[in-house]
């Protein structure tokens, strides 16, 4: 992923973002991003309570924490791309964000479709 980001950044002429920081385009982007994050935190708490109450049965797929995290990443990065398209100094910044988002989701789909390349299959289990 680091190599992919470096190649795309270099080709699009986008500067490297600071590590472990939220790179907001402006104050409006910061407010929108935090409202999305708080909404998803509340949804995770409510979803966990609902799914725990359903324990003998199957939990609701749409309220699973891992699913909500994927949706959170998708929504926040989509908002970032829209804000970069409208307000960023570099016109290619939003293309970098979209490429990064697509790469992440293709990677996760491949990992889930292959059961993480068989890492979690019984043959590779450390506890057997």
| Percent of the chain surpassing pLDDT 70 | 93
Confidence of residue 52 (pLDDT cuts 50, 70, 90): very high
Domain contains 57: yes
- Domain limits at 47? 24-124
Q: Is residue 73 over pLDDT 60?
A: yes
- 3-state DSSP of 6-33: HHHHHHHCCCCCCCCCCCCCCHHHHHHH
What gap in Å lies between CA 30 and CA 13, rounded to an integer?
24
The predicted structure's pLDDT at residue 122: 64
SS3 127: coil
- Tell me whether residue 2 is in a domain: no
The model's pTM: 0.82
Q: What is the pLDDT of residues 2-11, one digit of tens each?
A: 999 999 999 9
Assigned domain for 19 exists: no
Q: What string of DSSP letters covers 42-68?
A: HHHHHHHHHHHHTTTSPPPGGG-HHHH
Q: Is residue 49 part of a domain?
A: yes
Residue 63 belongs to a domain: yes
Tokens of 87: 């307000």
Farthest CA pair distance, the chain: 55
Mean pLDDT of 117-121: 70
55: pLDDT strictly greater than 90: no
Determine, yes or no, domain membership for 69: yes
Name the domain count of the chain: 1
């Amino acid at each position: 992923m680091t190599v992919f980001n470096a190649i795309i950044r270099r080709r699009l002429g986008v500067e490297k973002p600071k590590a472990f920081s939220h790179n907001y385009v402006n104050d409006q982007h910061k407010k929108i991003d935090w409202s999305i994050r708080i909404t998803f935190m509340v949804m995770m708490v409510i979803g966990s309570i609902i799914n725990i109450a359903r324990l003998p049965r199957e939990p609701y797929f749409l309220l699973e924490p891992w699913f909500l995290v994927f949706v959170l990443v998708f929504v926040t990065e989509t908002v970032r791309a829209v804000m970069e398209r409208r307000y960023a100094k570099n016109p290619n910044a939003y293309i970098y964000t979209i490429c990064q988002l697509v790469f992440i989701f293709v990677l996760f789909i491949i990992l889930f479709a292959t059961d993480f390349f068989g890492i979690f299959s019984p043959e590779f289990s450390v506890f057997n």
